[in-house]
């Protein structure tokens, strides 16, 4: 299979016009199983986000957030992934920026068990424009995933994700420019063919932190779906 035609090189992010969470993927689009050694899994898709942050609260809806990623296994219970993603940013004055995220997944349960549990740890990195200058942002995070094989075609999963973002080079340093998001997601991996699947997911996240000393507490709801290919 030619994976290149399924993996977008560009990551399109729709900006927002009010102080609100700039679009960033907090969803993982993955059950707890890992990719087998020597194989690759590619995903590509889109979704959207509604958020309400700040005092007073400002609502924002971003309808289109593209997403793409690739994973490969290096043991039966460990795999590694790379995806194009933006870091969690709470204000439209901070331009949404294409970034990269790399993570490792460790499956804690045995192969063949209908119930699977995994932990994921990774970090994201991006350049972004804040206060008229280009800055760097780091965004480490962890994810706990539980999935259940319902039938040969359907795998349901739930995950709890935490992401922390800091922009140490911005004015005021990390203490004035940091952000965190935590919350659950629910999804379903649906097998279309032996090596092709579609995975919709929705999540609700609690947000808190500040950018340029402006409080950004609130909530966000994300939804999306990706096509997956294994080769």
Q: What would the pLDDT profile of 116-132 be if each residue is shown by its tens digit?
A: 999 999 998 877 666 66
Q: What would the pLDDT profile of 30-53 be if each residue is shown by its tens digit?
A: 999 999 999 999 999 988 888 888
Nearest CA to 159 out of 75, 230, 84, 103 is that of: 103
In the chain, how many domains are there?
1
Question: Which pLDDT band, with edges at 50, 70 and 90, does 226 fall under?
Answer: very high
Residue 14 has pLDDT above 60, yes or no: no
Cut 0.85: pTM above it: no
Instruction: State the Cα–Cα distance between residues 166 and 176, nearest whole angstrom.
Output: 9
Question: Residue 230 — φ and ψ, nearest 5°?
Answer: -115, 135
Q: Mean pLDDT across the chain, nearest whole number?
A: 81
Question: What is the pLDDT at residue 6?
Answer: 31
Nearest CA to 4 out of 47, 68, 66, 86 is that of: 68
Instruction: State the Cα–Cα distance between residues 169 and 101, nearest whole angstrom.
Output: 20
Give the domain range for residue 85. 3-230
Question: What is the pLDDT at residue 24?
Answer: 61
Instruction: State the Cα–Cα distance between residues 192 and 228, nearest whole angstrom.
Output: 10
The tokens of 34 are what? 């890992």
Q: What's the angle, vertex CA 155, arms to CA 164 and CA 109, rounded to 5?
A: 70
The tokens of 44 are what? 């590509």
Give the CATH number, domain containing residue 130.
2.40.128
Instruction: State the Cα–Cα distance between residues 229 and 194, nearest whole angstrom.
Output: 9
Residue 144 has pLDDT above 70, yes or no: yes
Residue 64 has pLDDT above 90, yes or no: no
Residue 68 has pLDDT above 70, yes or no: yes
Instruction: State the Cα–Cα distance between residues 218 and 213, nearest whole angstrom.
Output: 15
Question: Residue 152 — φ and ψ, nearest 5°?
Answer: -65, -15
Question: Which pLDDT band, with edges at 50, 70 and 90, does 98 fall under?
Answer: low
């Amino acid at each position: 299979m030619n994976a290149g035609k399924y993996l977008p090189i560009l990551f399109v992010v729709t900006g927002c016009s009010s102080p609100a969470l700039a679009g960033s993927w907090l969803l993982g689009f993955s059950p707890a199983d890992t990719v087998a050694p020597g194989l690759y899994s590619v995903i590509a898709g889109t979704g959207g986000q509604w958020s309400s942050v700040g005092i007073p609260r400002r609502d924002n809806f971003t309808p289109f957030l593209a997403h793409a990623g690739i994973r490969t296994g290096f043991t039966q219970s460990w795999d590694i992934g790379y995806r194009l993603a933006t870091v969690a940013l709470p204000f439209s004055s901070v331009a949404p920026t294409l970034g990269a995220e790399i993570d490792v997944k460790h499956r804690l349960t045995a192969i063949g068990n209908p119930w699977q549990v995994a932990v994921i740890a990774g970090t994201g990195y991006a350049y972004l424009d804040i206060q008229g200058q280009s800055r760097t942002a780091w965004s480490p995070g962890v994810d706990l995933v539980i999935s259940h094989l319902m039938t040969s075609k359907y795998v349901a999963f739930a995950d709890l994700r935490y992401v922390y973002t800091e922009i140490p080079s911005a004015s005021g340093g990390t203490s004035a420019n940091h952000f965190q998001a935590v919350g659950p997601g629910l999804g379903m991996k649906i097998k279309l063919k032996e090596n092709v699947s579609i995975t919709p997911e929705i999540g609700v996240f609690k947000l808190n932190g500040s950018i340029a000393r402006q409080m950004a507490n609130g909530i966000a709801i994300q939804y999306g779906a990706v096509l997956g290919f294994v080769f």
